[in-house]
């Protein structure tokens, strides 16, 4: 399992390197990364000796941090699912992507994402789980924004990231609370009773829900998912069908075992899930872009899964797990189909497509199977899991089943709307000559469609798969079975009602769309999102205008004043840190005089150059002082820093206006005097406070051991590179970051391309009939 | 469209700018002549500092700053960089080197960043101490050189054009 999680990360680095060399064939390497994940299916199939129960790799043992991967049935099932879809998406993209794509980047991101997703699914340690969760957010941000030259892609990426990072923060808090209350950082080692009794239980529950809802695009956080389709289609298939968006569902499924006892849990999830089901399906029905239709359909289906897992009973979990498999199969297949249509005709707009049945027979067959499964038509997998869904909702009450039927009727209608591109007179954009896609494109889609069919015609197999999760999700006792025919049950009747309603919706599609237009609310999640981000922008620019617009002296006054206040408060609260001043070493007196002279020189300097030289005097004085205190390393560093600073100062001065004397009022003089005095006194106090050790000093340890343990006679250096090497690593990271930030600031407004974008720009590939996906109608 | 992809950015001119905006602070013949020798000396001394940092005053940080000084001198004297690449590129390499140096002992089951050292004796050099910490230090060196040099170069290249109130 550890291998399954880490191989994608390793191969991501390899792919980044191979990408520019191998081109599209990198995809084959990328597909290899998912092989260990696929092998996780072996223990599921009951192969003896292959069960990876728990693998622990220590990470930071002192903090209770370990990479613990636990292969229970559900995790393994999910991991296998990710492996299958990930490998298929990699292979599909080989044929799909344009030859000018940045393959290194694409496959590296794809694998990073796949790896973090596998880590998330298999992780038993809560903190590692959070880490992987955030990594999926970051990598999906990169994937969605892959074509970052397009503003819609940037917008979609930022939106997805903001929304899911919000949930990520919630999860961090929730994980901390669960860990505290449950007394363990591993999911399997939690003391469930203690957690339930803890006052942290309810906040943790709510925060977990926030995380799950944002990640799985539940109302009102669904806004990011449709814009996430700006990613290339193979990525969409991966993100939408198997993984990213199902992370929230996974969270609800796994944590449902902890929180499920609370009525709050089902009380929130089930209504939200059902509302998302209906709303997503309703919006999906109105889309004209095939990919947008599928995106909203994903929102809707996630609502279904959420509501089932949210029931937190055996029946719901059984049905949800079955539907999880079905959904992954048909949704990925449909995304692949849309990719093929896009690829062959050059458009995804529904009104511009028609009669593709003859030109694309294989694709048509795939689409038919997948869409019928989505619509819930026998004998396909989707039908069976929908029956289970109805069954579960029937037990909840009439209102629940009513909403479920409405949502499914809408699903039925949009599934057929999707299929409409294959009927009717052949209609395709001028210049496009649709013909069957190469097997590289149809193959993965066909495999998934066959899976959807198999789930239906051989329910025993599907049930065996679903049952592998029974121990992990605690539905082993549930007696239900997957089968096509249960007899005439209320669920079957509800299905007939659904079909009737769905057929009516199709027949009256013109009226439905008019109604849809009329019902479009002015205020929706997207407008709120834009208002919020706009508001933050305005607020920050106002704040900057108010504070940064000040003259430099004023800013200094504010900073010094604030520092003096804070430090003064500290001194007032704990005056005991100071101790009596001992005798001063006389040898340092000349150096002190030098320092004072430098400081006075700055004050009296009339030009910047003189001021810098005077500042340099204090710097060199400090260096001399360090030497006097027998710290040659520090002295050397101080000297060099001083030299570089002077150079940088001089470089900056070229572009500054001549120094001026601003007239100061008497009052200003007083304030400045006070500020300067308090800053001076404060700095002195700070130094004095540092002289007294509150604990026994640790330096003798380093002096005694630096040669023994670090092999160096220069204690300072050994300290830097060995004893406190991690600090140094952090510091150089900061240095690097600062350098990049300064570079960004200095280069702002300069023409030319960003560094690192070297290499010939790819030639545009704009065949006839190219359409640019327009801004979609937002819900 | 056959394949969705964004329209690429228009082809920009080649990246190497051997002679950027004629820097106002270069071209002095005396400076050039002197800097040729000084540059090499300072660089050598910087490398010496880096090398002996483990046992005597020195180390990656100091050596990096000193190298930066030498390179800035070169840049000011000749108007072009002595480095063949964008110095900002050194930063990730340095970080990666330091990180990986720490990772190796971790993967071997010892604490992260635990350094190791030992002695080699050859006929030519006599006893010679090696330490993995030196590799870590080289990482620090690269980051410091890359970071500070990138900032300095960027500032050198700034063309003062903005005029503010009070300027003549």
Weakest-pLDDT range from A292-296, A757-761, B49-53: A757-761
Mapped onto helix, strand or coil, the DSSP state of residue B55 is coil
In A, minimum Cα distance to B149 occurs at: A739
Q: What is the tens place of the pLDDT at every residue in B117-141?
A: 767 777 776 676 777 778 888 888 9
Please classify residue B82 by burial: count the beta carbons closer than 10 Å to its beta carbon, then call 0-12 exposed, 13-18 middle and 19+ buried. Answer: middle
> What is the rounded CA–CA span in Å between residue A657 and residue B123?
62
As a whole number of angstroms, the distance between CA A629 and CA A626 comes to: 5
ipTM of the complex: 0.74
Question: Do residues A6 and A92 lie in contact, with contact meaning Cβ atoms separated by under 8 Å?
Answer: no
A703 in B contact zone (CB under 8 Å): no
Over residues A262-291, the mean pLDDT reads 87
Residue A759 has pLDDT above 50, yes or no: no
pLDDT tens sequence across A717-743: 787 777 888 888 888 889 888 888 888
CA gyration radius, chain A: 32
Q: In 3D, which of A206, A215, A207, A231 has the Cα closest to residue A134?
A: A215
- Could you tell me if A384 and A456 are in contact, meaning their C-beta atoms sit under 8 angstroms apart? yes
- Closest to A757 in 3D by CA, of B80, B18, B9: B9
Which ranges constitute the DSSP H helices of A260-380? 263-286, 290-310, 314-345, 356-359, 361-375
How many residues are given for chain B?
Answer: 168
Residue A758 has pLDDT above 50, yes or no: no
Q: Which helix (H) or strand (E) holds B127?
A: strand B126-131
Query: Are the Cβ atoms of B150 and A739 closer than 8 angstroms?
Result: yes
Q: What is the mean pLDDT of residues A419-423?
A: 82
C-alpha–C-alpha distance, residues A110 and A113, integer Å: 5
Over chain A, what is the mean pLDDT? 81
Phi, psi of A630 (to 5 degrees): 65, 50
Q: What is the pLDDT of residue A582?
A: 66
Instruction: From chain B, pick out residues whose CB is under 8 angstroms from the CB of A740.
Output: 88, 91, 150
- Greater pLDDT, A523 or A734: A734
Please tell me the predicted confidence (pLDDT) of residue B41: 92
Predicted local distance difference test score (pLDDT) of residue B165: 45
The whole-number average pLDDT for the span A615-620 is: 87
The b-or-e profile of A425-454 (16+ CB within 10 A means b, else e) is eeebbeebebeebeeebbbbbbbbbebbbe
Question: What residues contact residue B90 under an 8 Å CB cut-off, 6+ apart?
Answer: B142, B143, B145, B146, B149
Q: How far is CA A598 from the centre of its chain?
A: 51
> Which residues in A241-275 are b (16+ Cβ under 10 Å) and which e?
bbbbbbbbbbbbbbbbbbbbeeeebbebbbbbbbb
pLDDT score for B13: 44
The two most distant CA atoms of chain B are separated, in Å, by 70
Task: Please tell me the predicted confidence (pLDDT) of residue B159.
Answer: 58
Q: Helix or strand or coil: residue A427?
A: strand
Look at B152 and A721 and tell me if their CB atoms are within 8 Å. Answer: no
pLDDT of residue A577: 63
Measured between CB atoms, does A47 come within 8 Å of chain B? no
Sorting pLDDT into bands at 50, 70 and 90, what band is A172?
very high
Residue A32: both structure tokens together = 């290899």
- Residue A147: per-residue pLDDT: 82
C-alpha distances in angstroms, A417 versus A106, A111, A331, A449, A469? 32, 34, 15, 18, 34
According to the model, what pLDDT value does residue A750 have?
56
Query: Is residue A649 predicted with pLDDT exceeding 70?
Result: yes
Which of the residue ranges A163-167, A235-239, A593-597, B97-101 would you say has the lowest mean pLDDT? A235-239
CA–CA dist B96, A726 (Å, integer): 13
More confident residue, B156 or A448: A448
Element (H or E) spanning A69, and its range? strand A65-70
* Model confidence at B166: pLDDT above 70: no
**CA A642 vs CA A333, A592, A645, B65: distances in Å:** 63, 18, 5, 10
Task: State what percent of residues in chain A have pLDDT above 90.
Answer: 1
Residue A110 has pLDDT above 70, yes or no: yes
Largest Cα separation within chain A, whole Å, is: 103
**Both tokens assigned to A243:** 């993984």
pLDDT for the residue A765? 39
Q: Is the pLDDT of residue A757 over 80?
A: no
Name the residue with tokens 């702002």: A748
Which chain B residues are closer than 8 Å to A739 by Cβ? Answer: 88, 91, 146-148, 150-151
For residue range A424-442, list pLDDT tens digits in order: 777 666 666 677 778 888 8
**Residues A619-650: b if buried by 16+ CB within 10 A, e if exposed:** bbbbbbbbbeeebbbbbbbbbbbbbbebbbbe
More confident residue, A746 or A591: A591
Beta A65-70 vs A54-60: how paired, if at all?
Answer: antiparallel
Q: What is the pLDDT of residue A768?
A: 38
3-class SS letters over A543-612: HHHHHCCCCHHHHHHHHHHHHHHHHHHHHHHCHHHCCCCCCCCHHHHHHHHHHHHHHHHHHHCCCHHHHH
In total, the C-beta contacts within 8 angstroms joining chain A to chain B are 223
Q: CA A159 to CA A382: how far, in whole Å?
A: 31
Q: How far from the centroid of its chain's Cα atoms is residue A269's Cα? A: 22
* Among the listed residues A203, A143, A218, the one whose alpha carbon sits nearest the alpha carbon of residue A173: A203
Q: Which of B55, B46, B134, B2 is nearest to A441 (CA)?
A: B2
In angstroms, rounded to a whole number, what is the distance separating the alpha carbons of residues A84 and A324? 14
The mean of the pLDDT values for chain B is 75
* A308: nearest Cα among A377, A387, A373: A387
**Tokens encoding A206:** 């709510």
> Which residue carries 């640790």 as its tokens?
A698
- The CA distances from residue A562 to A559, A565, A669, in Å, are 5, 5, 18
The string of pLDDT tens digits covering residues A327-383 is 888 888 888 888 888 888 878 888 788 777 778 888 888 888 999 888 888 778 888
Cβ A100–B8 below 8 Å, yes or no? yes
- Give the pLDDT score at A217: 80
CB contact under 8 A, A728 and B140: yes
The residue that leads in pLDDT, A255 or B10, is A255
Q: What is the mean pLDDT of residues A639-668?
A: 78
- Nearest-CA neighbor of A445 among A374, A326, A363? A363
Which three-class secondary structure state does DSSP give residue A440?
helix
pLDDT for residue B17 is more than 70 = no
Residues B22 and A305: their CA atoms lie apart, in Å, by: 65
Residues 6 or more apart in contact with residue A535 via CB below 8 angstroms: none
**Residue A173's pLDDT is what?**
92
pLDDT at B163 over 50: no
Tell me if B54 sits within 8 A of A711, measured CB to CB: yes
**CB < 8 Å from B in window 123-152 of A:** 147, 149-150
**Interface contact flag, A711 B54, Cβ < 8 Å:** yes
Question: Do residues B49 and B62 make contact, with C-beta atoms less than 8 angstroms apart?
Answer: yes
Tell me the sheet residues that pair with A158.
none
Q: Which member of B5, B54, B162 has the closest CB to residue A712?
A: B54
Per cent of chain B over pLDDT 70 is 73
The Cα–Cα gap between A370 and A453 comes to 8
Find the residue in B nearest to A95 (Cα). B3
Contact A746 B154 (CB under 8 A): yes
Of the candidates B5, B91, B133, the beta carbon closest to that of A147 is on B5
Beta-carbon contacts of residue A13 (< 8 Å; ≥ 6 apart): A108
Nearest-CA distance from A524 to chain B in Å? 29
What the block records as the tokens of A268 is 């929130």
* B162:A711 CB<8 A: no
Q: Is the pLDDT of residue A691 over 80?
A: no
Euclidean distance between CA atoms A779 and A758, whole angstroms: 39
CB atoms < 10 A from the CB of A276, how many?
28
Q: Which two tokens stand for residue A350?
A: 């529904």
**Spatial distance between the Cα atoms of A495 and A507, rounded to a whole number of angstroms:** 18
Distance CA A530, CA A162 (A): 12
Cβ neighbours of residue B116 closer than 8 Å, sequence gap 6 or more: A711, B105, B131, B132
Under a CB-based contact definition with an 8 Å cutoff, are residues A282 and A315 in contact? no
**Non-local CB neighbours of A678 within 8 Å, separated by 6+ positions:** A560, A564, A568
Asked whether the predicted pLDDT for residue A635 surpasses 50, the reply is yes
Sorted by sequence, the CB contacts under 8 Å of residue A408 that are 6+ apart come out as A281, A376, A386, A389, A390, A498, A502
A234 neighbors A142 (Cβ within 8 angstroms): no
Nearest to A121 by CA among A257, A247, A7: A247
| Coil, strand or helix at A249 | helix
Most confident of A65-69, A119-123, A217-221, B56-60: A119-123
Above 80 in pLDDT, residue A487? no
> In terms of DSSP bridges, do strands B117-122 and A54-60 run parallel, antiparallel, or are they unpaired?
unpaired
Selected for mutation to probe chain B from A644, A732, A750, A768 (highest B CB count within 10 Å) is: A732
Phi, psi (degrees; rounded to nearest 5) at A706: -65, -40
Lowest mean pLDDT segment, chosen from A504-513, A661-670, B60-69 = A661-670
């Amino acid at each position: 399992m550890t291998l399954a999680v880490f191989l994608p990360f390793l191969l991501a680095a390899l792919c980044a390197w191979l990408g520019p060399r191998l081109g599209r064939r990198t995809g084959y390497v990328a597909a290899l990364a998912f092989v260990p994940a696929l092998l996780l299916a072996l223990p599921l199939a009951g192969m003896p000796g292959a069960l990876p129960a728990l693998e622990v790799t220590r990470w930071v043992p002192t903090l209770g941090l370990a990479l613990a991967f636990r292969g229970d049935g559900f995790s393994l099932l999910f991991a296998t699912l990710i492996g299958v879809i990930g490998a298929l998406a990699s292979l599909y993209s080989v044929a799909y992507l344009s030859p000018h794509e940045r393959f290194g980047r694409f496959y590296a991101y794809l694998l990073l994402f796949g790896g973090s997703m596998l880590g998330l699914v298999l992780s038993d340690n809560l903190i590692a789980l959070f880490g992987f969760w955030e990594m999926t957010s970051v990598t999906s941000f990169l994937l969605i924004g892959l074509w970052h030259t397009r503003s819609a892609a940037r917008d979609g990426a930022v939106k997805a990231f903001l929304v899911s990072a919000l949930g990520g923060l919630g999860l961090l808090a929730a994980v901390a609370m669960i860990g505290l209350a449950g007394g363990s950082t591993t999911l399997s080692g939690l003391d469930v009773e203690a957690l339930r009794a803890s006052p942290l239980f309810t906040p943790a529950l709510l925060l977990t829900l926030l995380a799950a809802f944002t990640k799985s695009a539940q109302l009102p956080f669904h806004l990011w998912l449709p814009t996430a389709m700006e990613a290339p289609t193979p990525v969409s298939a991966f993100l939408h069908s198997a993984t990213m968006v199902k992370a929230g569902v996974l969270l609800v499924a796994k944590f449902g075992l902890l929180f499920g006892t609370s009525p709050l849990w089902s009380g929130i999830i089930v209504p939200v899930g059902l509302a998302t089901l209906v709303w997503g399906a309703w919006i999906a029905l109105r889309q004209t872009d095939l990919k947008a239709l599928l995106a909203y359909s994903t929102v809707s289906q996630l609502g279904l899964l959420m509501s089932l897992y949210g029931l937190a009973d055996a029946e719901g979990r059984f049905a949800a797990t079955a539907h999880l498999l079905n959904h992954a199969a048909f949704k990925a297949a449909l995304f692949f189909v849309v990719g093929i249509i896009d690829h062959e005709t050059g458009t995804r707009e529904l009104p511009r497509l028609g009669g593709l049945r003859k030109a694309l027979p294989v694709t048509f067959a795939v689409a038919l199977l997948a869409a019928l499964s989505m619509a819930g038509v026998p004998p396909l997998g989707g039908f069976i899991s929908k029956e289970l869904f109805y069954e579960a909702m029937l037990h909840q009450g009439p209102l629940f089943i009513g909403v479920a039927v409405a949502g499914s009727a809408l699903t039925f209608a949009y599934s057929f709307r999707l299929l409409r591109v294959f009927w009717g007179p052949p209609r395709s954009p001028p210049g496009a000559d649709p013909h069957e896609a190469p097997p590289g494109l149809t193959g993965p889609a066909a495999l998934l469609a066959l899976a959807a069919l198999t789930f239906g015609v051989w329910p025993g197999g599907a049930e065996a798969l679903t049952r592998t999760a029974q121990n992990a999700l605690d539905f082993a006792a549930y007696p239900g079975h997957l089968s096509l025919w249960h007899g005439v049950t209320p669920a079957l009747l509800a299905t007939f009602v659904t079909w009737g309603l769905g057929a009516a919706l199709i027949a009256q599609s013109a009226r439905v769309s008019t109604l849809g237009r009329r019902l479009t609310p002015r205020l929706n999640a997207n407008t709120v999102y834009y208002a919020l981000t706009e508001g933050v922008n305005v607020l920050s620019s106002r704040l900057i205008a108010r504070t940064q617009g000040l003259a430099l002296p004023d800013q200094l006054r504010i900073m010094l004043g604030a520092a003096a206040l804070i430090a003064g408060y500290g001194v007032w609260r704990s005056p005991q840190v100071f101790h009596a001043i001992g005798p001063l070493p006389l040898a340092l007196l000349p150096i002190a005089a030098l320092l004072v002279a430098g400081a006075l020189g700055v004050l009296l300097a009339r030009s910047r150059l003189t001021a810098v030289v005077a500042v340099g005097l204090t710097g060199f004085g400090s260096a001399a002082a360090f030497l006097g205190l027998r710290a040659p390393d520090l002295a050397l560093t101080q000297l060099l820093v001083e030299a570089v600073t002077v150079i940088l100062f001089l470089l900056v001065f070229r572009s500054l206006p001549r120094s001026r004397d601003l007239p100061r009022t008497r009052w200003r003089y007083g304030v400045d005097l006070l500020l300067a005095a308090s800053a001076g006194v404060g700095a002195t106090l700070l130094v004095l406070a540092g002289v007294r050790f509150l604990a026994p000093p640790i330096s003798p340890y380093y002096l005694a051991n630096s040669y023994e343990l670090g092999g160096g006679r220069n204690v300072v250096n050994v300290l830097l590179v060995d004893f406190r090497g991690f600090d140094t690593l952090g510091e150089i990271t900061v240095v690097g970051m600062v350098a990049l930030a300064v570079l960004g600031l200095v280069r702002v407004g300069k023409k030319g391309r960003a560094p690192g974008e070297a290499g010939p720009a790819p030639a545009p590939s704009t065949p006839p009939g190219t359409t640019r996906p327009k801004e979609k109608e937002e819900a | 469209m056959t394949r969705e992809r964004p329209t690429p950015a228009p082809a920009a001119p080649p990246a190497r700018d051997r002679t950027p905006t004629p820097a106002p602070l270069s071209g002095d013949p005396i400076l050039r002549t002197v800097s040729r020798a000084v540059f090499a000396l300072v660089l050598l001394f910087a490398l010496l500092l880096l090398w002996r940092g483990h046992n005597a005053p020195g180390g990656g940080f100091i050596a990096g700053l000193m190298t930066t000084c030498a390179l800035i001198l070169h840049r000011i004297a000749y108007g072009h960089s002595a480095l063949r690449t964008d110095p900002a590129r050194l930063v990730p390499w340095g970080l990666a080197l330091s990180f990986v140096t720490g990772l190796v002992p971790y993967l071997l089951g010892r604490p992260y960043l635990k350094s190791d050292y030992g002695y080699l004796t050859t006929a030519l050099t006599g006893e010679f101490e090696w330490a993995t910490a030196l590799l870590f230090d080289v990482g620090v060196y690269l980051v410091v050189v890359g970071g500070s040099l990138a900032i300095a170069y960027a500032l050198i290249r700034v063309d003062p054009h903005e005029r503010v109130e009070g300027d003549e």
